[in-house]
Amino acid sequence: MKSTFLKITLMAFITVGAFSCKNTEKEAEAMTEVAAEATDMATEYTVDTAASQIMWEGAKPTGSHHGTIKLSSGTIHLNEGKAEAGNFVIDMNTINDEDLEGDDKANLEAHLKGTVEGKEGDFFNVKEFPTAKFEMTGIENNMVKGNLTIKDKTNAIEFPATVTMEGDKMMLKSETFEIDRTKWDVNYGSKSIFPSLGDKFINDAIKITVSLVATKA
């Protein structure tokens, strides 16, 4: 009788464990969506990487820093001035701080990039993860939705943006929005990850503003 009871109990644990794993997988899948595909009527525009950039701002109780990141490539597909699909690649080696100078600027950029020996994984670890990627999954009522991949972690994000046209040139400008960096395992100085930090923490939220310029391919 005891042996039968143990077998039944073991089977119950296995079943619950399998169900929990499936639920976890479904939750992970729900965090991202399938990338949008352009229709035959859409026109491809190539992102002008020299004229495009992403502005960022990070903060902590004692102050904040802000700067830019460049893109290495990207395309947007437009149909009658409306974006149907698109993607762009972010060059994480171009992380740039705009509020410091000299050694302070160089030290902060090196820390963010992860080029300081022994601190590679504190922030973005560009040696292992030189690029990040955004794939559009849809746009509705000026709200751009897509999958953002940083450090091989992908999460769905959305942000308000407007698209304007000037001849064969398209400009997409987002409003400033926030992402939670810990969703991409950027955990350095996070109070939600390390509660014992007290007031010596860095905000989980990073403010982002996207500015894209693209021309007809």
- 78 and 9 in one domain? no
**pLDDT tens, position by position, 127-160:** 999 999 999 999 988 999 999 999 999 999 999 9
Answer yes or no: is pLDDT of 89 > 90. Answer: yes
Structural domains of the chain, count = 2
- 9 and 107 in one domain? no
Predicted TM-score (pTM) of the model is: 0.84
Query: What confidence score (pLDDT) does residue 210 get?
Result: 98
Answer yes or no: is pLDDT of 106 > 80. Answer: yes
- 158 and 53 in one domain? yes
- 15 and 44 in one domain? no
- 182 and 75 in one domain? yes
Distance (Å) of CA 134 to CA 35, 85, 150? 10, 11, 9
| Residues whose CB is less than 8 angstroms from the CB of residue 44 and which lie 6 or more positions away in sequence, other chains included | 38, 75, 76, 77, 216, 217
- 47 and 25 in one domain? no
- 22 and 66 in one domain? no
**pLDDT tens, position by position, 47-73:** 999 999 999 999 999 999 999 999 999
- 114 and 19 in one domain? no
Query: What confidence score (pLDDT) does residue 32 get?
Result: 85
On average, the pLDDT of the chain sits at: 88
Answer yes or no: is pLDDT of 1 > 90. Answer: no
Residue 81 pLDDT level (bands cut at 50, 70, 90): confident
- 91 and 11 in one domain? no
Query: What confidence score (pLDDT) does residue 19 get?
Result: 39
For tokens 């992380």, the residue is 95
Spatial distance between the Cα atoms of 139 and 41, rounded to a whole number of angstroms: 17
- 93 and 5 in one domain? no
- 22 and 40 in one domain? no
- Domain with 13, as residue range(s), is 1-30
Query: What confidence score (pLDDT) does residue 2 get?
Result: 40
Domain containing residue 201: CATH number: 2.40.128.110
Query: What confidence score (pLDDT) does residue 21 get?
Result: 43
Q: Which residue has the higher pLDDT, 197 or 4?
A: 197
